[in-house]
Amino acid sequence: MAGLLVGLVSGAAVLGADLLSGALVQGSGGHPLQIAELKTYDWRLNQTARPESARKDIALVEIDEYSLRNLQPYAGRWPWPRVVHAMLIDYLARAPARLVAYDVNFAEPDSRRGSIQSRRRAT
């Protein structure tokens, strides 16, 4: 019961401090609790992450600067045409994966020759 009370009081204190500091710095650009969150995020992850306990059946495939440089002769400069993304997803789907999650922002239409959007504009 004492632990629950301590948790409720601490939660109320944090929410109260958040509301008060938000009202005091309104419009100044940075909320103190958000700044503290961002500054301590990497440190907190390094303190709690345990790579040795990571699951071995999960693979993270990243599109990073190294892969962009090495694939540029084949896929072109970033942003890659949609067909390159489709081929990458097809390749990953052939593996014994139960799930492939793909997180890429397609903010603009594909304007390269041969894309569906360029064919639609031509007709």
pLDDT of 99-123, one tens digit each? 888 898 888 888 776 655 444 555 5
Render the burial of 67-78: b for 16+ CB within 10 Å, e for the rest: eeeebeeebeee
| Residue recorded with tokens 């306990």 | 53
Tell me how far apart the alpha carbons of residues 79 and 90 are, in angstroms, rounded to a whole number: 18
- Is 52's pLDDT higher than 70? yes
Of 119, 123, 95, 96, which is closest to residue 109 (Cα–Cα)? 119
| Residue recorded with tokens 């892969």 | 67
Q: Mean pLDDT across the stretch 1-23? A: 79
Tell me how far apart the alpha carbons of residues 25 and 66 are, in angstroms, rounded to a whole number: 41
Residue 66 pLDDT level (bands cut at 50, 70, 90): very high
pTM of the model as a whole: 0.52
Listed as own residue / partner, the contacts of 39-45 with beta carbons closer than 8 Å and 24 or more positions apart are none
| Residue recorded with tokens 């409720």 | 8
For residue 73, the model assigns a pLDDT of: 92
